[in-house]
Amino acid sequence: MNNDAIGIGCDWGTTTLRAYLLGRDAEILEKIEIPKGIMSVEDGDFQKVFEDIVGYWMDLFPTCPIVLSGMVGSRQGWVEAPYIECPVEINTLSNKLITIELTRNREIFLVPGLTFIDEEGVPDVMRGEEVQILGACSGEPVKERLICLPGSHSKWVRLAGNDVKEFSTYMTGEIYEAVRNNTILSKTLEPNAWSKKAFLNGVQYSRQNRNILSQLFHVRTQILFDKLSNRSSTSFLSGLLIGHELKSALQNSHNHEIYLIGERTLTQLYADAINEFGRTTKKATPDIVTLGYFTLLRQLADRD
């Protein structure tokens, strides 16, 4: 075990817990990834689960700070951490950390989520992604850019320098799973077949001036009239849904740099789709969240 650990960062989501033991240069000394999300914690005993998974590191490094983020700070989590309203300077997250006292007489720190109220007064929220955004801002500030975090609930974030100005959420991934598994389309889709060409065709089809609900039914009719094969249909559906997300997210974005954060396969899909809109992207490393934790851990150390 490396003795140069400076702290522990833990992304505790709905279905998965990822914990990182970090070194002095944000090096990942060890990583734990386990399907023990907050919904699987029995009787709300988060402390016991955390001790079972991360207790070994806490024993070895009794003075290292620990930072948690994600749905563990939601109303269904360990302790509810209030949201910070945007616009907000992302480097000030450490000023709003929530303290949790463990029975082993040790403190851990919980990162609050972010909220944005749009011009119609409707709120949006995120938990966990804010630390990834902090990691993305660890380099040289960029005047303006968009950060896209694809997933079940994709986030699009507009930054000016290190200020999170606004963001919006799209349920693209969850809708994709619901449509392909629980609608009439599920009778003709082949879920294990993939075609990049069909995916890009779906992206282009989304750009036509038609309603998405109508276009979804056209996936079926195109199969019935042999304009779309069963093997290509799942790819086409994916492109259609992601394309509609991009139509909205890229509106009025001018030529802002687009930065993708997430799992490699999914970010590549989004990069390909964004290219169809005539835009280019940059991709972050999958574990960029650790740079966010590293920043928070250093800020905690500077307090002492």
Backbone angles phi, psi at 27, to 5 degrees: -70, 140
Q: Which long-range contacts (CB under 8 A, 24 or more apart) does 171-180 make?
A: 172/241, 172/242, 172/244, 172/245, 175/241, 176/237, 176/238, 176/241, 177/152, 179/216, 179/237, 179/241, 180/234, 180/237
One of 3.30.420.300, 3.30.365.10, 3.40.718.10, 3.40.50.300 is the CATH number of 7-141+287-303, namely 3.30.420.300
Domain ranges (residues) in the chain = 7-141+287-303, 170-283
Which residues have a Cβ under 8 Å from the Cβ of 30 and sit 6 or more positions away? 1, 20, 21, 57
Tokens describing residue 279: 């835009």
In this structure, are residues 153 and 169 in contact, taking their beta carbons and an 8 Å threshold?
yes
pLDDT in tens for each of the 304 residues of the chain? 556 899 999 999 999 999 999 999 899 999 999 999 999 999 999 999 999 999 999 999 999 999 999 999 999 999 999 999 999 999 999 999 999 999 999 999 999 999 999 999 999 999 999 999 999 998 766 788 999 999 999 999 999 989 999 999 999 999 999 999 999 999 989 888 999 999 999 999 999 988 999 999 999 999 999 999 999 999 999 999 999 999 999 998 877 889 999 999 999 999 999 999 999 999 998 889 999 999 999 999 887 6
Same fold, 7-141+287-303 and 170-283: yes
Model confidence, pTM: 0.93
Q: Which fold has domain 170-283?
A: Nucleotidyltransferase; domain 5 (3.30.420)
